[in-house]
Amino acid sequence: MKLFRFGNPTKENPGVILPDGRKIDVSAFGEDFNEQFFGTDGISRLTEWLKTNADSCPAVADDVRLASCVARPSKIVCIGLNYAKHAAESGAAIPQEPVVFFKATTALCGPNDNVIIPGDW
């Protein structure tokens, strides 16, 4: 099972790709893929729910807009230079400790969405 989110901006729905490749809308489960979902064993609960409900979930078309994978995270923690080839490409030494940085949560978008650059950049 793979999780994804889809739909128009600000109206995204949760979806699942089943082992057989079918993409289904799991909005009827009643939760989006947010911090509360992941913090309350949502994967296990969704897995159990799908055992009896997967066949009644609507299919998701292949041409639908894909959204960010997680809804409304409180923070995005990133690790820079996290593999040797990337460090070499950037001309940097391989760090002894992880290079940790944060991104604004507004930086999240779907894989094919336009990246919005704030003014004066």
What band does 30 get if pLDDT is binned at 50, 70 and 90? very high
Looking at the DSSP assignment, which residues form a beta bridge with residue 101? 78
- pLDDT tens for 88-103 read 888 888 888 989 999 9
Query: What's the predicted TM-score (pTM) here?
Result: 0.81
Sheet of 23-25: strand order equals 2-6, 13-17, 23-25
- pLDDT tens for 57-74 read 999 999 999 999 999 899
